[in-house]
């Protein structure tokens, strides 16, 4: 088979054959890897005949005469339709919130500019489609929160409160947002709260969810919605008082035990709810009706996933279910839903509780004075064996895994074991899955962080089970996705952040900035070509600034080289590498000290002391011209350990660490309160200097 035909198929499928790595070196995907990735896309490429058949398949999908159900365009710009219609073709345009407009395409077959953002209906040439008209940019932080905005980020699961049963929940979140607002914070970024697998408690990474459309029910605080009495009765009926107390005292989350206890309580609460004539029943029914097909499918999946176990009694991938249950629209699934109506209703009840709890938390944040409030976190993909992949099979690439090639952060590359959207599946279905996902994650938040935002432009994909170097970049309809993001953010008056760390494609940051979508700059990474830390004035205005992320060491951990110890302990580096790494870290420490001595002279104390260093780093990031500065709670408290160590599973306690105090008073510690005041003052002073 000729490489030319294979390459033509790869390009038609949206794969990049040539790419540039994080070190600026040109790379080319091998033919064997291309064939494997194409196979994962459902495009056979093992022979000349396979390639021709796959090319015909793509031509049928992407044909220029095929009018998609949704087109995106910019506010105030004409829409060229000459590939579909002749000049002078008559049309009828119905605005989302306005009257019909009649007209004809101009002599270049263009639709007249539309000046109102929204989802508008176009009838033309006997065909119907939606026009998603996007504003020029997402709402800016300055428009939403003013010129000196700052906030915190927190791992929701790690919060504590009396009676939480060993896991952070929405009531703990409520108390924290009030405390943060009292310190002057405008925003609180939270870890992902996507729906997990209630039938598989061993899978708890918030970045490997079952669905990004719904929520992790374990984070609900039922008493906030139903009252204390039903919960107390449920605890007694389940006999869980001692177990809940034990779980609360643990330093690390026992996800398996927490899942068992919480689901027992939730089921008891549901049974009481549906038999007791609860006054909130109407609200629950309204919530369920509003959730529509998407919610129904998710709840059906949950019930099926718990029922269709393997021969050994374990939950399994939906592709391994009996064939009649593998499609959500099948008669067998409909019959199952009728026979297990109460189970499905129970899962809807759990979603109702967590959604209402998040709604309360955002209301508390705004009422306490936060201009933005919660910033949700959108994971880059979902598990291919989960609810979203099952429900949206034509729009998700369940046979490919998403990851990253080797880069500056992870020299071995990464395979995240999650699936992403199909580019042509999205187009074919009018971007339904993408739009509903964005709406779900902005429903109870004033902003959204997009993990690995490069995924809007391209994703590194590999066949399931393959290593990170056996992949290729799959390109996405970047402009369409940016327009849809801008439109949804505009409708919610929400700010959008994008984690743009790693191998960043050329032009991505500029396009994000044009759309008002903020990138991210991390203190430890911001250095020039000589490795010298950059001064505050060299930070861009088009990105937020932060001290660290959940995948990186804390300020204290970095300073004490604790991350080096961990990487050697888990086998990512060898013991003989320690001296060289410590020598390099010592040079980095000296460079950071020089920077902080120059730009944070007002900070008292020895900068070599971790607590003082955290003060100085807070002052420094506060001086950057970023429209929003976010300080992780780990650094606000000067904690040693980081939440996650990429590339590990059981050898490091990822996603299990709990914070060292009650969320209501967590930020009241004298050192923490001082640090937040330093940050707030730095923000005010910087904004004042910028406006002179």
Tokens of 207: 């970045």
Q: What is the dihedral of CA 641, 643, 647, 648, to 10 degrees?
A: 80
Beta bridge partners of 421: 396
* 80 domain-assigned: yes
Residue 100's domain comprises: 76-134
How many angstroms separate the most distant Cα atoms in the chain?
77
Number of domains in the chain: 1
Identify the pLDDT of residue 37: 94
Other beta carbons within 10 angstroms of residue 587's beta carbon come to 10
pLDDT of residue 2: 67
Output the pLDDT for position 689: 61
Say if residues 362 and 374 touch (Cβ distance below 8 Å). Answer: yes
Q: What is the pLDDT of residue 502?
A: 82
82 within domain boundaries: yes
Query: Is 121 part of a structural domain of the chain?
Result: yes
User: Which residues, including other chains, have CB under 8 Å from residue 536's CB and lie 6 or more apart?
Assistant: 599, 620, 623, 624, 625, 686
What pLDDT digit, counting tens, does each position of 388-407 carry? 999 999 999 988 999 888 77
CA distance 87 to 662: 67
Residue 557 lies in a domain: no
The pair of structure tokens assigned to 588 is 């980095």
3-class secondary structure, 488: helix
Taking a C-beta distance cutoff of 8 angstroms, is the pair 616, 593 a contact? Answer: no
- Pairing between strand 70-74 and 26-28? unpaired
Name the nearest CA neighbour of 592 among 549, 563, 556.
556
pLDDT (0 to 100) of residue 6: 93
Q: Which pLDDT score is estimated for 529? A: 87
Whole-model pTM: value is 0.96
Mean pLDDT by 10 residues, the chain (692 residues): 84 92 87 93 91 88 78 97 94 91 95 96 96 98 96 98 97 98 98 96 94 98 96 97 97 97 97 87 96 97 96 93 97 98 98 98 98 97 94 90 79 83 92 96 98 95 87 96 98 97 90 97 94 96 98 97 97 95 96 96 95 98 98 98 92 98 96 97 79 42
Is residue 534 exposed (0-12), middle (13-18) or buried (19+ Cβ within 10 Å)?
middle
**What is the 3-class SS of 552-618, one letter each residue?**
CCCHHHHHCCHHHHHHHHCCCCCHHHHHHHHHHHHHHHHHHHHHHHHHCCCCCCCCCCHHHHHHHHH
| Cα 395 from Cα 224, distance rounded (Å) | 36
684 contacts 623 by C-beta, under 8 angstroms:
no
- What mean pLDDT, rounded, does the chain reach? 94
pLDDT of residue 543: 98
Question: What pLDDT is recorded for position 626?
Answer: 97
Q: Is 340 among the domain residues? A: no
Is 90 inside any structural domain?
yes
Judge whether 560 lies within some domain. no
Distances (CA, A) of 604 to 619, 632, 646, 678: 12, 22, 35, 11
| pLDDT score at 691 | 46
**Domain presence at residue 118:** yes
Burial status of residue 56 (CB atoms within 10 A of its CB: 0-12, 13-18, 19 or more): exposed
């Amino acid at each position: 088979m000729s490489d030319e035909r294979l390459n033509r198929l790869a390009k038609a499928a949206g794969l990049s054959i040539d790419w540039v790595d994080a070190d600026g070196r040109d790379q080319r995907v091998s033919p064997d890897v291309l064939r494997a990735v194409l196979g994962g896309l459902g495009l056979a490429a093992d022979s000349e005949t396979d390639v021709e058949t796959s090319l015909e398949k793509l031509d049928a999908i992407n044909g220029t005469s095929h009018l998609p159900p949704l087109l995106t365009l910019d506010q105030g710009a004409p829409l060229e339709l000459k590939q579909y219609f002749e000049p002078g073709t008559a049309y009828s345009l119905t605005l989302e919130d306005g009257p019909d407009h009649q007209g004809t395409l101009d002599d270049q077959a263009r639709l007249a500019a539309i000046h109102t953002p929204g989802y508008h209906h176009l009838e033309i040439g006997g065909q119907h489609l939606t026009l998603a008209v996007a504003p020029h940019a997402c709402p800016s932080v300055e428009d939403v929160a003013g010129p000196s905005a700052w906030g915190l980020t927190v791992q929701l699961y790690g919060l504590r409160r009396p009676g939480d049963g060993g896991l952070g929940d929405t009531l703990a979140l409520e108390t924290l947002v009030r405390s943060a607002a009292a310190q002057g914070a405008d925003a609180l970024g939270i870890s992902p709260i996507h729906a997990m697998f209630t039938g598989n408690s061993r899978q708890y990474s918030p970045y490997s969810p079952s669905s990004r459309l719904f929520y992790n029910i374990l984070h609900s605080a039922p008493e906030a919605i139903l009252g204390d009495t039903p919960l107390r009765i449920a605890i007694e009926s389940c006999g869980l008082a001692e177990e809940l107390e034990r779980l609360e005292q643990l330093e690390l989350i026992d996800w398996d035990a927490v899942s068992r206890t919480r689901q027992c309580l939730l089921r008891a609460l549901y049974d009481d709810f549906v038999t007791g004539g609860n006054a909130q029943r109407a609200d629950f029914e309204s919530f369920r009706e509003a959730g529509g097909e998407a919610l129904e499918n998710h709840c059906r999946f949950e019930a099926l996933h718990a029922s269709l176990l393997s021969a050994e009694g374990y939950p399994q991938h939906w592709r391994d279910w009996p064939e009649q249950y593998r499609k959500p629209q099948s008669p067998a699934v409909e019959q199952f839903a009728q026979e297990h109506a109460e189970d499905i209703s129970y899962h809807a009840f759990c979603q109702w509780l967590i959604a209402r709890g998040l709604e309360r938390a955002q209301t508390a944040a705004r009422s306490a004075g936060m201009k933005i409030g919660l910033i949700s976190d959108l994971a880059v993909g979902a598990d291919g064996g989960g609810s979203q992949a099952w429900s949206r099979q034509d729009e998700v690439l369940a046979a490919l895994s998403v990851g990253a090639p080797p880069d500056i952060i992870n020299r071995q590359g990464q395979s995240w074991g999650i699936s992403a959207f199909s580019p042509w599946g999205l187009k074919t279905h009018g971007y339904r899955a993408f739009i509903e996902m964005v709406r779900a994650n902005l429903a109870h938040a004033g902003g959204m962080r997009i993990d690995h935002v490069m995924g809007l432009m391209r994703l590194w994909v590999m066949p399931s089970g393959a290593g990170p170097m056996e992949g290729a970049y799959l390109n996405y309809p970047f402009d369409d996705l940016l327009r849809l993001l801008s439109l949804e953010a505009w409708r919610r008056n929400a700010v959008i952040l994008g984690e743009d760390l790693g191998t960043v494609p050329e032009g991505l940051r500029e396009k994000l900035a044009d759309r008002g979508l903020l990138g991210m700059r991390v203190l430890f990474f911001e250095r020039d070509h000589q490795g010298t830390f950059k001064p505050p004035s060299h930070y861009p205005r088009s990105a937020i600034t932060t001290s660290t992320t959940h995948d990186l060491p804390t300020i204290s951990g970095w300073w004490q080289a604790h991350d080096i110890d961990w990487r050697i302990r888990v086998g990512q580096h060898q013991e003989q590498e320690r001296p060289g790494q410590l020598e390099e870290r010592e040079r980095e420490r000296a460079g950071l000290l020089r920077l902080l001595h120059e730009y944070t002279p007002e900070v008292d104390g020895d900068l070599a002391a971790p607590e003082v260093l955290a003060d100085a780093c807070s002052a420094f990031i506060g001086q950057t011209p970023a429209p929003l500065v976010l300080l992780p709670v780990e650094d606000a408290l000067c904690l040693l350990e980081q939440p996650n160590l990429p590339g590990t599973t059981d050898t490091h306690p990822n996603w299990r660490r709990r914070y060292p105090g009650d969320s209501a008073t967590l930020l009241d510690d004298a050192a923490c309160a001082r640090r937040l005041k330093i940050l707030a003052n730095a923000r005010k002073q910087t904004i004042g200097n910028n406006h002179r």
